[in-house]
Chains A and B, each alone.
Chain A
Amino acid sequence: MDSHVSHPDQATASAPSVISAAGLGLTFPTNDGPVRALADVDLTINKGEFVSFIGPSGCGKTTFLRVIADLEQPTAGTISINGMSPREARERRAYGYVFQAAALYPWRTIEKNVALPLEIMGIAEAEKRERIARTLALVNLTGFEKKFPWQLSGGMQQRASIARALSFDADLLLMDEPFGALDEIVRDHLNEQLLQLWARTEKTICFVTHSIPEAVYLSTRIVVMSPRPGRVTDVIESTLPRERPLDIRETPEFLAIAARVRDGLRAGHSYDD
């Protein structure tokens, strides 16, 4: 671990920025004319923050994450990750990406799936084994090393895919609706574990979701987005303490933030009827 230990509340002002986007836009050409997936996004994310992106489908939240990951190319504005272009950041393995589905390779055991990025990056055998053990312990999957993905439940598969994203120790974690396909109970459990993991590793996390309680429960900052064109309509700083038990979701403070997120979503949402 590095020596950068600080409280996120104080950190936001002084911490170096991990992601900074200015006037970012992305237009897809389609057969029905160009679609503006992102327009004029200005956003700075600092080290150690947990930022959620929330909004209806088509608001560009996943597209924004994919631009950070260099999986899409912006057509306007600038974006830098740790002061580098997204391409450089990707080539230096600056981030771990967790997709909507676990996307584990079925011919590899859990252990081998977690080892995949390490193999590609050419990590030595001994260190590889040590990292696999450590990250699997981090997501509570110790003992399942030799199982194949299709022998595990959906929740465990998604945890394994988080372990895979953590295994090479990137400081930035990009998560695209990782728990969207899981049921409520499993989701609660994984949210709790994710918070503990964030507290232990002090990573910067960008988290796309369309669940208001999930966004409020997890984040230090919530970015509300709206579609046509995809843009940021509100950025809400969370006043919740860093230590968050599950029943914090019944406190008036939590409900007040959730109400503000909901208002933000409603304001940006145009009903077509």
Chain B
Amino acid sequence: MKSTLAWQSLVALLLLLLALLQLPLVKATADGAAPVLMQTVPFRIYGLILAGIGIDALYQSRFLRAISLFLCAHLATFFLFTQIAGANGTARPAFYLVLAACWLLAWRCVTVLSELKPAGRFGRIALSLIIPAIFGAWILIIWEAVTRGLGIPFILLPPPSAVFAKLISSLSIIVADVNQTILKSVLAGYIMGCAGGFVAAIIADRFPFMRRGLLPIGNLVSALPMIGIAPIMVMWFGFDWQSKAAVVVIMTFFPMLVNTVAGLAVTSTMERDLMRTYAAGYWQTLVKLRLPAAAPFIFNALKINSTLALIGAIVAEFFGTPVVGMGFRISTEVGRMNVDMVWAEIAVAAVIGSLFYGGVALVERAVTFWHPSFRNGKA
């Protein structure tokens, strides 16, 4: 047994005390009938929060404390939300004070979790996922609480629960949109744009006069406004995904070209002299020395392009498309005031974009493990 109070717990207790003076949690609804649970629920919430603080203060085991803090904080939040279910805009100050107390408890939980030192590899990976997950969940919880508690108009900002409900109910539409935009336009454009930039960089490196010509032209193309390019590409390549892929090619070509050209220049004189003493030819030097040395730069371009490609394809769909695609859906649903659908598409795009970027970053770690930024402090 120990008995110390963390500062998060102290502040949470203070907030609970303040909330006590401000009860009840919610206003009576318009029809005058307060929810039946109203009398017992605040007791449960208070009980849960106090239990969490108590266990955290009295017990030694970090694991037990983390679990109890997690359960108490999130169960209390759940009960808090039952208070405003079906009655948006009825929250009173006490509601936010108690929510803040719950949040502090979750914070305390993350603090205890990050002190944990799991022995196994599995435990470490799980912990490195749980902590950001709790963090992200609380952004959504606060978003939900503010939009529902204050009764913010649906058009301005729908609560995440409504976005999620819409996402589930129109899953088949979203799957079709992802198939059209991501699997056709983005992927095809990304592969062609990156490969094109890479090949152009090799040509520019091999023939110096090409470098003087290619780099300014590449620069010029990347400076072209997308608003102008996209409709022209639609005229050239038609309404389907090919025109969007063309826009993505234009957007991803230049970052790859510039980064690869820069990467091919990073080898030291000594490293190149070494190849010369072996009488190695241009291609041998390229494959065995200069391309491996350029890999960090090339992966930088691949990462930059992963997000550029997504933006390019979605925006290009604003300028003419068959009646499917994420950009098409966003532009039409905005017109029909269906913001929940817009947000659902945004959420899907964000998740796919992060996965895309993360995937490239994982491959980068595997390929450029030798680079000082990845080899874990070894000189």
Q: Interface on A for B, CB 8 Å cutoff?
A: 69-71, 90-93, 95-97, 99-101, 103, 105-107, 116-117, 119-121, 148, 150-151, 168
Contact = CB atoms under 8 A, between A and B. Distances in A.
A120 B378 contact: no
A107 B370 contact: yes
A105 B289 CA distance: 8
Interface of B: 268, 270-271, 273-280, 284, 288-289, 292-293, 295, 368, 370-371, 375, 378-379
B375 A120 contact: no
Nearest to B276: A71
A103 B292 contact: no
A204 to B, nearest CB: 16
B278 A120 contact: yes
Nearest to A101: B270
Given A92-B279, A120-B278, A151-B378, 11 more contacts: A71-B277, A93-B279, A95-B277, A99-B273, A100-B270, A103-B274, A116-B278, A120-B275, A120-B288, A121-B278, A150-B379
A117 B278 contact: yes
Contacts of A121: 278
B377 to A, nearest CB: 11
Contacts of A93: 278-279
Contact of B288 (A106, A116, A150): A116
Given A120-B284, A150-B370, A97 B279 contact: no
B330 to A, nearest CB: 43
Q: Which of A91, A95, A103 has the most CB of B within 10 A?
A: A103
Nearest to B371: A106
Nearest to B295: A107
A97 B274 CA distance: 8
Given A106-B370, A107-B370, A120-B284, A90 B289 contact: no
Contact of A103 (B271, B368, B371, B378): B271
Contacts of B288: 105, 116, 119-120
A117 B280 CA distance: 9
Nearest to B375: A150
A90 B277 contact: yes
Chain A binding surface SS class: loop
A97 B277 contact: yes
A23 B277 CA distance: 24
Given A120-B284, A148-B370, A150-B379, A105 B279 contact: no
B378 A150 contact: yes
A26 B368 CA distance: 41
Q: Which of A97, A107, A119 has the most CB of B within 10 A?
A: A107
A97 B272 CA distance: 13
Q: Which of B268, B271, B278 has the most CB of A within 10 A?
A: B278
Contacts of B279: 90-93, 120
In the A-B complex, the 6 residue pairs with the closest CB atoms: A106-B370, A107-B370, A97-B277, A91-B279, A120-B280, A117-B278
A90 B276 contact: yes
Q: Which of B274, B295, B371 has the most CB of A within 10 A?
A: B274
25 contacts: A70-B276, A90-B276, A90-B277, A90-B279, A93-B278, A96-B277, A97-B273, A99-B270, A100-B270, A101-B270, A103-B268, A103-B274, A105-B271, A105-B292, A107-B295, A107-B368, A116-B278, A116-B288, A119-B288, A120-B275, A120-B278, A120-B280, A148-B370, A150-B379, A151-B378
Contacts of A119: 288
Contacts of A95: 277
B6 to A, nearest CB: 42
Contacts of A90: 276-277, 279
B278 A99 contact: no
B51 to A, nearest CB: 51
B276 A103 contact: no
A153 to B, nearest CB: 10
B273 A71 contact: yes
Nearest to A170: B277
A106 B379 CA distance: 11
Contacts of B284: 120
A116 B273 CA distance: 14
A103 B277 contact: no
Contacts of B375: 150
Given A107-B370, A120-B288, A69 B277 contact: yes
A92 B279 CA distance: 8
Nearest to B292: A107
A92 B292 CA distance: 26
Contacts of A91: 279
A105 B287 CA distance: 13
B266 to A, nearest CB: 12
Nearest to A103: B270
